Amino acid sequence: MQPIRVTYNQTCELLSISRDALRLLVQQDPTFPRPIKYGNNRQSPVYFDYADLLEWHQKQKAIYAVVGA
């Protein structure tokens, strides 16, 4: 069974990038899934939708396959 949401750290692990790289990806790539913050406090947990991450990754693979061909 696939998770519905993943934490910020789990997203970093899935993409094999650092927290800073993920932060920059969220800021600079408008196609990257937006984080979901649960709560209004600064320390509220942040999650990403797992299905959205997979869809984004598939699109990135398709783009790089076309560019690399």
CATH number reported for the structural domain that contains residue 39 in this entry? 1.10.1660
Output Rg (C-alpha) for the chain, integer angstroms. 13
Is residue 68 very low, low, confident or very high in pLDDT (cuts 50, 70, 90)?
low
Convert the pLDDT of each residue in 6-42 to its tens digit: 999 999 999 999 999 999 999 999 999 999 999 999 8
- Read off the pLDDT of each residue in 53-62 and give the average, rounded to a whole number: 94
Q: Which residue has the higher pLDDT, 1 or 16?
A: 16
Number of domains within the chain: 1
> Any bridge partners for residue 7, and if so which?
47
Domain range holding 57?
Answer: 5-68
∠ CA(47), CA(48), CA(49), 5° rounding?
125
